[in-house]
Amino acid sequence: ARLVPGEDAERIEAAIEGLVDRPSTPLVARLPRRPGQKEARYGHLLSGEVHHDAEDAPAPPPPPAPSSDRLAALEQATQELRNEVSDLRAQLEAFRKQFE
């Protein structure tokens, strides 16, 4: 719902910019854009400096999976595949000997 009927985005933006660029004391400060958002953000200076909340900061990346567990799983899978290949070679050799 609009607070001021009939106002378009350009007029509202101009009014906010007027508060940012106020000659005596700015009443509004521009805030950095959040990742993935195109809209400009503003904060009021009526009670002092604008403090960014923790939610304004980008989320930290998830911690990487423990590499030792991943490495151990890969080593186990590799050993199982080597054992399977060895068994298949032995079966193939036994199969060939039937025809000699």
**Does residue 17 share a domain with residue 48?**
yes
- Residues 14-29: b if buried by 16+ CB within 10 A, e if exposed: eeeeeeeeeeeeeebe
Rounded to whole angstroms, the Cα distance separating 40 from 11 reads 15
Rounded to whole angstroms, the Cα distance separating 22 from 16 reads 10
**Does residue 73 share a domain with residue 42?**
no
Q: Can you give the pLDDT at residue 54?
A: 47
Q: CA 24 from chain center: how many Å?
A: 40
pTM of the full structure: 0.41
Q: Is the pLDDT of residue 93 over 60?
A: yes
User: How many structural domains comprise the chain?
Assistant: 2
| Residue 1 included in any domain | no
| Residue 60 included in any domain | no
Q: Can you give the pLDDT at residue 23?
A: 85
The domain in which residue 47 lies consists of 9-52
Q: Can you give the pLDDT at residue 7?
A: 67
| Residue 3 included in any domain | no
Q: Can you give the pLDDT at residue 97?
A: 93
Rounded to whole angstroms, the Cα distance separating 33 from 70 reads 37
| Residue 58 included in any domain | no
Higher-scoring residue by pLDDT: 87, 49: 87
